[in-house]
Amino acid sequence: MLRASSIAVAVLVACSGRAATGPASPPRAAAVPIDAGPAVDAAPLDQDLARLVELSLAMYREVASAFTATGRDCAAATARLRELTGRYRDVAAANAKVLRDGRAKQLRAALGPHDAEFDAAAQAVVGSPTMASCAQDAGFGVAFDELVAPPP
């Protein structure tokens, strides 16, 4: 079983308490907003719980979306997880630091207003056909763990 995924989902649940006319145009690439990141004088992510919650929720939503898009294709799901790992590496590290520093209660308070959103995202991930099909795939397991586990 996926060691870190179980821990991540447990922490998430514990901390939280759903016809054109005319010729068809060619498919367009999805627009991806470019985020310059936090302002230079912004607090570290583990000290800015509102931003940490926002980014954590975005990460879980993107995982759920990736799993919807890839279905039971473990190779495609693994590739998407690796893409997301680069984008959200700081989120896993900041969450781990908050918990390591004994601030779980503060994190739960920050997560409170978003309980329903986190629950929906967690359910979409855990209940997805991707997770059912790929949980025993070694490459998928490593990619999932790298996304949700803090870097060494």
> Is residue 119 very low, low, confident or very high in pLDDT (cuts 50, 70, 90)?
very high
> Is residue 120 very low, low, confident or very high in pLDDT (cuts 50, 70, 90)?
very high
Percentage of the chain exceeding pLDDT 70: 72
Q: How far is it between the farthest Cα atoms of the chain?
A: 60
> Is residue 101 very low, low, confident or very high in pLDDT (cuts 50, 70, 90)?
very high
- Closest Cα to residue 134, out of 56, 86, 80? 80
The answer to which of 24-33, 119-128, 140-149 has the lowest mean pLDDT is 24-33
pTM (2 d.p.):
0.72
Q: What is the mean pLDDT of the chain?
A: 81
Let me know: does 96 contact 56? Beta carbons within 8 Å. no
Q: Express each pLDDT in 30-62 by its tens digit.
A: 444 445 455 556 789 999 999 999 999 999 999
> What is the rounded CA–CA span in Å between residue 67 and residue 128?
7
